[in-house]
Structure 1
Amino acid sequence: MALKELEVRYATTRSKDYKLADAEGLYLLVRPNGSKLWRFKYRYHGKEKLLSFGSYPGVSLAAARLRRAEAKVALGQGIDPGAKDKPAPVKTFEEAARAWHANRLASLDEGHASRLLTRLERDAFPAFGNCELRTVTSADVLAMVRRVEARGALDVSRRLKQHVSQIYRFAIPHEWASTDPAEHLSELLKPKPRTRHMARVRIDELPQLVRAIDQYDGDETPKRRAVTRAALLFTLLTWARTNETRLARWDEFEGLDGPEPLWRVPASRMKMEREHIVPLAPAVVALLAKLRAQSSDTYVFAGDKLGQPISQNTMIYGCYRMGYRGRQTVHGFRGIASTWANEAECFRPDWIEMALAHAEQDEVRGAYNSALYLTPRRRMLEAWAAVVTEMIAA
């Protein structure tokens, strides 16, 4: 019985490879890693042969059937369909990796694409870049990962393992390789250290913290005090990380005079290496307008020297001067905001996670939508800003 499009689309993974037959030798091979590969089995001069038509959904059911028809026409003419238009074999891992990277360039941010290739050039290519793709073993990949782990770069080691798998998933449908040597290594990777939550005050202590920021009077020059106060308040209102705030540039802000102002944080400054869009509440726009009137620097939170932002420690030292050493960190502002939003029970968890830029990076799936939930996130951040503003006025 011929396959239906829905059967192909919703075919689930199992512990082993299995086939969904269409007709006349065409079938879909469903692999444990989730890939769905079109195969056409035929006989030529009495010998059984197999032809690959690519992977679903890149090649639809209708397209696979069309290729089957073309192959049968060739067979009818006495031609082996598997002998024509075969791609030149990619002999080394590096060649396959560069082909995979080139195939993805259009969907990647320029900075992200550069970092991705740099990881491979620094660690994977020296390890087995010159090896034939089919000869790279799980032990080879694990040894490369262990070397990266040894220098403490656990996040990079996991990304490299993921990249190797992606390269092989790209190579297998092209028949450059038949297995993924990194497929079963996840449980062997060194575990990430437990997350250490940054110090923060209880939600009921938030009013005192907000008023301390508003009345900030640190042992600094008047100009420096004003910038430190503004940076602390901006970070609290936007749920940003320290470097996202201190390196903010004026050209990242859009529509400050319009109804839907926003801050577009570039991927190069984000932990998840993805662009992040922050909708801005009126209180934030007012704060920016005041800063803009006082400075013509490139950076929003300018340091003492022209063209330089405030230092990495400016805001945390500000917390110390307010008497919050050991009780409140700048990163801890995000935890307070998250607690408030979750306790409010009117904001969905995925809105909160997106506002915190916690969305998990899955490079196998489609492009990350940095504007996801933008409207409800705007309402949420405006409500948060209203709460903070009321505390200042109290």
Structure 2
Amino acid sequence: MRKLLSLTLLALAGSSAFAGGYRVSIQGQKQLAMGHTGVAVVNSAEVTFFNPAGMAFLENKFNLSVGASALFAETKFQNSTYNWTASTSNVGTPFNVYATYKINDWLTAGMAIYTPYGSTVEWDQDWQGSHLVNNIDLKAIFVQPTVSVRLGEHFSIGGGPIYVTGSVDFNRNLSRNLTDEDGDRTDLQISAKGISAWGYTAGLMFNPTDKIRLGLNYRSEIIMEARDGDATFNDVPAYAAGTLTNTTFNADLPLPGELTTGLSVQVTDKWLLAFDYNYTLWSVYKSLDVEFNNGLPTSVNPRNYKNSSSYRVGTQYTATDKFTFRAGWYIDESPVQDGYFAPETPRNDGMGFTGGLTYQVNNKLGVDFSFLYLHFDEIDNSYDHYSDGSSFGGTYKSSVFSPGVGVTYSF
């Protein structure tokens, strides 16, 4: 029983606090509408996130971009061998705030607040995969002060620290068949609040001509240190009450570093094209060590993620002084390898389709609209590393739809 408790707590911490690669990139309405390109695009304060070096090339002294999206995610599961079916439909609300201020001709300061790792997955309680997950609620807010230095007419650098604060709640059944005397399945709720960590971002931008920009941005790996998180058991049978006691845990949870490079081409005065390549270092997530504070031994849960790439293309067309239209497309590779596909991260390789527009109210204020439809390839896969050696799998179909709105203000 002690071994079962150890492995269960470990799997919970590994899957919940990190969200395992189930990340939908929504860090700005203008750039999302352009396929989430932006490392070589300078059209608003959103560049603070995509490449802080670009802040130095913004024309206005002050720039502000504020936006939010409604994220509707749906996953359907089926195992035809046992005639199992299940589904989960969840709503998220990622947001972003970016501001820049030009101190002088060569120095610009900025601030970015955004939510790249928040997610929710909620299956029915006691469904067939409940020994792996019932529900997850992950919240993470990134705060990024930045500076950008312009080195002549064609080159700039920028960067700054990143502070992350967040929390996680996760629930799963303790095993496939453990119940209390009333027949209620025994489950475990794990919670950690006030998790915080530091990282950094750095970028450069080069404009070889007045029509072409090249950009490069790196965001560092960030280690989220969960300390004294709470683990609470529910519906415990009487014979196990002395073993399955509430406890606390410590764990170090890695968020991967990522490198993005790309270019933009001003084809005409009205038409802009952008291309980004993103490489995320997910291989840092090989396993997770969890230290229990009630005397249980430290345990390790394998995830064995692989590095993954995203390929993005976007376009912007300024039709009139009032309307600018945008569209984009990208391919997003999954970091999850065969045999490690768990229902708390129900995603495979995906393809995103984006679009949007800006209505310019006046020369200072604009309203931005965006949408994203992200379709994940259907996959038949399993998780083969449960504590009792059994495997759980089936066919997963997942998709995400996200409309968003924002405002930009500059002077």
Range into which the TM-score falls when normalised by the shorter chain: under 0.3
TM-score, normalisation: structure 1: 0.22
TM-score, normalisation: structure 2: 0.22
Q: Tell which has more relative contact order, 1 or 2 (C-alpha 8 A, sep 6+).
A: 2
Larger radius of gyration: 1
